[in-house]
Amino acid sequence: MASAVRDPSMKPETREVIDVHRAAGRSFEAGGVRSFVREQGSDRGGSVVLIHGVPTSSFLYRKMMPVLADEGLRAIAFDFPGLGLADRPVNFDYTWSGLARWLGEAVDALELDRVHLVVHDIGGPIGCEWAVNNADRVLSLTALNTMLDPATFKRPWSMAPLATRGVGTAWLRGTPRTAFRALFYAQGIADRTAVTRAEIDAYYYLLRRGDGGRAFLRIMRGFELTADKRRFLWAGLAKRPYPARIVWGELDPALGLDQLEIAQRVLAVDDPIRLQAKHFLQEDHAAEVSQAIADLAAPLG
C-alpha cells in the first residue's frame, strides 16, 4: 500500500478523504517506480484508462469510476511518478516523453491489453504519445480539456511561475493551503457546492507528499513545447484506427475554447460535448463526463 500522507497541519476531515482514497486502491510497480492504482468494475465492456495531468492524480477520477463501473466498464486510474501516492525518484525522466514511456510500462504491469484511453490536461500529449506508438492497443480516445498543439501552447499565468527554476520553488513554498484552495476553485470548479474544502485540500497534500512538490516542479519544467512534438502527435493521431470524442468544460480559464478548437482539428471531431464546467470537470460533472465516455466505449468492448 502507498505510504501515508503525514503533515501535522492536515485537518482530520482531509486526512479521512485521503485515507479513503488510499484504501480504495493498491500499490503496484512499473518501470522500477512504485505507484498507486484504483480499479473498479469488470472488463466485460472494456477497460478504461483514466490519465490525469497536473497538479492532480488518480484522486481526480474517484467520482467517475463508479459511474463507469455501473456502465459495465472497468475503470482504471493510476498516479504518474512524482504525483499523488506515487514515488518521486530523483533520477526519473519527468518530460512528457518520459512519462509516456512510463505510462506504457504501467499498462503492461497492470496486464492490460487493449484499452479505452481518457486524457486530461498534460495527460493529453502524454497519453496521445503512447497511443500513437501503440495504436493497436487503443479502442477509443476521449479528450477532456487538454492541449494538443505543443508548438504554440503558452502556459497560462497559473502555470507559468512553476516552470522557472527557483521561482517555482518559491511559489510553491509561499502558497498556503487556503490560497491553493482558492486558485483550485477559481480555475477548476464551476459548481463549488460539488467539492468540499477537504477534497480540495487533499490535492494540496497529495501534491507535496514526500518531497514538498519538487518532482511536480520537474514535471512543470519538462513540457516539450516543440514543433517536432506537434508533428509527431498530429501525424500519428491523423492515422489512428479508433474513434475519438471530446468532452470539454467550456468555462475553463486555463485551457479555453482556443484549445478546444485545436483538439477538434487534431482529432477530427466536429461535435464536441460542451459542459458548463471549468478545468476539473471530473469533479462537478462526473456523471455527464462518465456517460459520454461510456456511450463511446461500451459498444466497442
pLDDT in tens, 127-177: 999 999 999 999 999 999 999 999 999 999 888 999 999 999 998 888 899
Going by C-alpha positions, the residue among 129, 110, 114 that lies closest to residue 223 is 129
Query: 74, exposed or middle or buried, with CB in 10 Å at 0-12, 13-18, 19+?
Result: buried
CB 245 within 8 A of CB 140: yes
Q: Is 274 helix (H, G, I), strand (E, B) or coil?
A: strand
pLDDT of residue 4: 58
- In degrees, rounded to 5, the angle at the alpha carbon of residue 202 between the alpha carbons of residues 163 and 92 is 45
Span 11-50, pLDDT tens digits: 999 999 999 999 999 999 999 999 999 999 987 889 999 9
Going by C-alpha positions, the residue among 21, 66, 4 that lies closest to residue 198 is 21
Please give the Cα distance from 262 to 272 (Å, whole number).
12
Binned at pLDDT 50, 70 and 90, residue 2 comes out as low
Please give the Cα distance from 100 to 129 (Å, whole number).
6
Q: Is 227 helix (H, G, I), strand (E, B) or coil?
A: helix
pLDDT of residue 194: 97
Span 85-94, pLDDT tens digits: 999 999 999 9
- What are the cell numbers at 219? 514535471
pLDDT of residue 1: 46
Residues contacting 9, CB < 8 A, separation 6+: 177
